[in-house]
Amino acid sequence: MTPADVSGPMDQILSTGMRRFTTRGGLGLVADVVGAPDRPAVLFLHGGGQTRQSWGGATHELARAGYCAITLDLRGHGESDWAPDGRYDLGSLKHDLLDVLGQLPGRPALVGASLGGLTSLLTVGTSETPVASALVLVDVAPQIEAEGGQEIRNFMGANPNGFASLEEAAEAVAAYLPHRPRPRNTDGLRRNLRRGDDGRWYWHWDPRMLQGEGRIDPTRMRGLLDDAARAVRIPTLLVRGGRSRVLSMEGVRAFQTLIPHAEFVNIAEADHMVAGDANDAFSAPLLDFLRRAGV
């Protein structure tokens, strides 16, 4: 599929189109495109267990500001293909990202949350030639808190048999994110779930990403991520949720040692899922950084 025709007045640019990328291994990766395709591109990569829908209104804010925002479903997430070999390690995600970047004009800015941030960092820091114009990491760095990371894995693995209803899934989310007001309806949650043949609702990602040698496990790559960070030369911004249990201030200071030129923003009212917790507080410094970085 190709992006929608979004030329014309700015109020028409906010319509969303869909695009499908194909990796060298044949996986189809689905993305939403908001903004005219001839505008500077900003590619968003979500966290583990999330989908491209997790960025709230940030993409529309960027489109209003004159950017083309692209939100990608990582392999095994959302509407993107599941990996036939069950591999969801950072190395596999890096190759996917390189394949996507190779199908976009120029060098987009990368905005990655959690797993998407580590994928972006690894890709930028280990590529032989420049692949991005700027790098934004959202509540993640090479040094993450073990307890906070385990909380995420526990939530992702807590309901292997799915949910009987959307309301039951909403209860699980509310227990995991007690600081967020519970939505009045479950329409938004529906996008993060898939209906199984048994009629039950399952999270919209491949459960194999928590299993085996091909599983998501950033702690196994800490040394490689540190080395990748040291090699980053492009404008970089680290955004932390002030209530995060995944990225501590100690982790922030370690990151600033690895990338001395990196800027840092702490969003006090946000937890780990910064864009979903505090969209306006996230979008404003993001736009300011992109403009000053010349994106």
10-146+206-292 adopts what CATH topology?
Answer: Rossmann fold (3.40.50)
Cα–Cα distances (Å) from 29 to 70, 93, 115, 129, 280, in that order, read 12, 11, 16, 23, 28
Which pLDDT value is given to residue 183?
A: 67
Which pLDDT value is given to residue 186?
A: 76
> For the chain, what are the domain ranges?
10-146+206-292
Which pLDDT value is given to residue 177?
A: 79
Which pLDDT value is given to residue 157?
A: 87
Which pLDDT value is given to residue 253?
A: 98
The reply to whether the predicted model has a pTM over 0.85 is: yes
Digitized pLDDT (tens) for each residue of the chain, 295 residues in all:
223 333 334 344 455 689 999 999 999 999 999 998 889 999 999 999 999 999 988 999 999 999 999 999 999 999 999 999 999 999 999 999 999 999 998 999 999 999 999 999 999 999 999 999 999 999 999 999 988 888 888 888 899 999 999 999 999 988 887 877 776 777 778 888 999 999 999 999 999 988 877 777 777 789 999 999 999 999 999 999 999 999 999 999 999 999 999 999 999 999 898 988 788 899 999 999 999 999 9
Which pLDDT value is given to residue 15?
A: 53
Which pLDDT value is given to residue 219?
A: 74
